[in-house]
Amino acid sequence: MFNKIRLWKNQNNSSILRDKIEEIKKSPVPEHVAIIMDGNGRWAKKRALPRVAGHHEGMKVVRKTTMLASDLGIKTLTLYAFSTENWKRPKNEVDYIMKLPEEFLGTFLPELVENNVQVKMMGYKNQLPIHTLRAIEKAMEKTKNNDGLVLNFALNYGSRAEIIDAVKQVVTDYKSGKIEESELNEEVFSSYLMTSEFPDPDLLIRTSGEIRLSNFMLWQLAYSEFWFTDVLWPDFNEEHLLEAIEVFQKRQRRFGGI
């Protein structure tokens, strides 16, 4: 297991990182990590590059984060790649982001397969360009029998819309007699959400210094630990992920108890 770990900073500090990884693995790691990958535009602006250059760099960080999450034994990694509100961005930027899953999966799918990663997606599929959807569905099909890390892309995802749709479905099921009022509880309601197959995130990470949820997993994050960093997503690296997990491991989760 140890030599499977690939370090994306292959420099002098790699043995320190290796030790850190091994140390972290001695305590329970979060089962489900969700990340709001923010700051791509600012990263590009700082370098006088077009915003899309930041998204492209951000895509590379997705790969590295996925590999480290897999090595650490994290079970689910949910990445907020595009929100239902992101359609408001300039067309060229939206078009570019919609091509990234193809590029990402076109390049890295063999590596994901090799590492037993299972690709999934949550979000409204109908509005996605067909080329984007095809790339994701192909990856889902090719990795469906893998049982390692679940890499769950939140693409055209919005939490309020998800909750409203869940409520509508509950009402439909109530009217048709599929569910009684007395049967509805938090667990049952969760089963109506796009995340029905996953446990709630244990840890939420948001990069770029913004301290908000931006319509991301509002129901599911009720008891999650939050870790915010000023680091822009394209600069996010192994040490940052490990730091977030270390902080998580030191927190006491009480779930409302004492």
Q: Which two tokens stand for residue 27?
A: 């305590």
Which one, of 13, 10, 59, lies nearest residue 233 by Cα?
59
Q: Does residue 41 belong to the site contacting ligand FPP (CB under 6 A)?
A: yes
Amino acid at 66: T
User: Does 47 show up as a binding residue in the annotation?
Assistant: no
Of 8-16, 98-106, 192-200, 244-252, the window that binds ligand FPP (rule: CB under 6 A) is: 98-106
95 has catalytic annotation: no
Secondary structure letter of residue 217 according to DSSP: S
Alpha carbon separation from 131 to 28, 84, 114, 136, 151 (Å, rounded): 39, 18, 24, 9, 19
Exactly one of 17, 32, 35, 38 binds ligand FPP (CB under 6 A); which one?
38
Exactly one of 104, 157, 198, 216 binds ligand FPP (CB under 6 A); which one?
104
Exactly one of 5, 24, 35, 37 binds ligand FPP (CB under 6 A); which one?
37
Is the Cβ–Cβ distance between 25 and 74 less than 8 Å? Answer: no
38 has catalytic annotation: yes
- How many chain residues are in contact with ligand FPP, going by CB under 6 A? 20
For ligand FPP, the binding residues in 146-175 under the rule CB under 6 A are: 153
Amino acid at 97: I
Q: Does residue 123 belong to the site contacting ligand FPP (CB under 6 A)?
A: no
Nearer to ligand FPP, 61 or 203 (CB): 61
Alpha carbon separation from 190 to 10, 56, 157, 163, 250 (Å, rounded): 42, 34, 16, 9, 28
Alpha carbon separation from 239 to 243, 245, 254 (Å, rounded): 6, 10, 27
Q: Does residue 55 belong to the site contacting ligand FPP (CB under 6 A)?
A: yes
Secondary structure letter of residue 6 according to DSSP: P
Exactly one of 5, 81, 204, 217 binds ligand FPP (CB under 6 A); which one?
81
Chain residues in the site for ligand FPP (CB under 6 A): 37-42, 55, 58-59, 62, 81-82, 86, 97, 100-101, 104, 153, 208, 233
Q: What is the set of active-site residues?
A: 38, 86
